[in-house]
Copies of this chain bind each other. A is one copy, B any other.
């Protein structure tokens, strides 16, 4: 018999509640930027807290929508910032997209992926054995007659959109032409729209590029990063420890629309860390407005809070 899920309460995780939470949570999925670090600096206490969880025998994974780093690059960054971590714990969206193509996409043998993305995406595709059209900066040329007959590769059977600083009208046009074939698979690493990097300074990211392709192609992409449940299938299939026990797994993130939405829709425990993008006010506003998939069960000021009751 189905039991109604309780509404997420957005409770502070502290004192006895934290003790009970740590006791009953076996696995932690940590978002990275805004949770473990900001730019090139670890957030105070985060490495110590995450390392303590591992010492206590918890499974720890790093789950990030940023497509600009490979597993190896994330391992290096994690270690440099003091996290005791290995590449096999890292599930970045470039890796996730490559694994989706390898495990679930059933591409034809000669099929190639048209990539809007950077070198990290290519490395993950190489490692997964996926053929692709290597992205290069594409200078704009010609006019509408020539854009109507841009050279297209013959065996493209999928388009993958990730972050690409060389995103341009020509890349957009090629992607839309491939996607005019309804058999062409349409994937994206993530839908995060932008980062506010300083007051008045916005860096558009993958979701913004994806919106251009989706609008031009009049199609919606399958997104592999958070909040996609593919992450859990991918961890189950590539992790030596096998599938996660969902009710004992927590996602810890700073974004209500990706991290918390992922946790709530996949049946995980969800913890908002107030060290990044989303605020407690926004969480309560979502609750008032009935957007319960973007309300966390718990919140912490930062990942360092996981240390207090532990060591």
Query: Is A17 positioned at the interface, with any CB of B under 8 Å from its CB?
Result: no
Q: Is the CB of A173 within 8 A of B211?
A: no
Closest chain B residue to A141 by CB distance? Answer: B165
Number of interface residues of A (CB under 8 A): 44
- Across the interface, do A216 and B200 meet the contact criterion of CB distance under 8 Å? no
* Interchain CA distance A148-B211 in the complex, whole Å: 21
Would you call B176 and A194 a contact (CB within 8 A)? yes
A177 to chain B, nearest CB (A): 5
Q: How far is the CA of A143 from the CA of B208 in the complex (A)?
A: 17
CA distance A167 to B169 in the complex (A): 5
On whether the beta carbons of A194 and B217 are closer than 8 Å, the reply is yes
B-contact bits for A146-176, CB 8 A (1 contact / 0 none): 0111000000000000001111110011001
Residues of B within 8 A of A288 (CB): none
Q: A168-B169, A217-B194 are in contact. Are A209 and B212 (CB under 8 A)?
A: yes
State whether the Cβ of A2 lies closer than 8 Å to any Cβ in chain B: no
Q: Which of A112-162 contact B (CB under 8 A)?
A: 137, 140, 143-144, 147-149
Given A201-B177, A211-B212, A194 contacting B168 (CB threshold 8 A): no
With contacts A193-B218, A211-B212 taken as known, whether A203 is within 8 angstroms of B147 at the C-beta atoms is yes
- Whether B194 and A216, one on each chain, are in contact in the complex, defined by CB atoms closer than 8 angstroms, is yes
Residue A31 interfacial (CB < 8 Å): no
Residue of A176, A198, A202 contacting most chain B CB atoms (<10 Å)? A202
B-contact bits for A182-217, CB 8 A (1 contact / 0 none)? 000000000001101111111111011111111111
Distance to closest chain B CB from A105 (angstroms): 21
Asked if A19 lies at the interface with its beta carbon under 8 angstroms from chain B, I say no
Decide yes or no whether A181 CB sits under 8 A from chain B.
yes
* In the complex, chain B residues whose CB is within 8 Å of the CB of A238: none
A180 within 8 A of B: yes
CB-CB under 8 A for A202 and B177, given A165-B140, A172-B208: yes
Residues on B with C-beta less than 8 A from A193 are 215-216, 218
Report whether B204 and A180 are in contact in the complex, using a CB–CB cutoff of 8 Å.
Answer: no
Complex: A140 Cα to B139 Cα, angstroms: 10
Residue in B143, B164, B180, B211 whose beta carbon sits within 8 Å of that of A211 in the complex: B211
16 A-B pairs within 8 Å (CB atoms) are namely: A140-B165, A143-B165, A165-B169, A166-B168, A167-B168, A173-B202, A173-B203, A173-B204, A176-B194, A176-B203, A180-B202, A194-B217, A202-B216, A204-B212, A204-B216, A205-B216
Question: What residues of chain A have their CB less than 8 Å away from a CB belonging to chain B?
Answer: 137, 140, 143-144, 147-149, 164-169, 172-173, 176-177, 179-181, 193-194, 196-205, 207-218
Q: A173-B203, A181-B200, A193-B218 are in contact. List 12 more A-B contacts (CB 8 A).
A: A144-B197, A148-B201, A149-B198, A166-B169, A169-B209, A172-B209, A176-B203, A179-B202, A180-B196, A204-B215, A204-B217, A211-B211
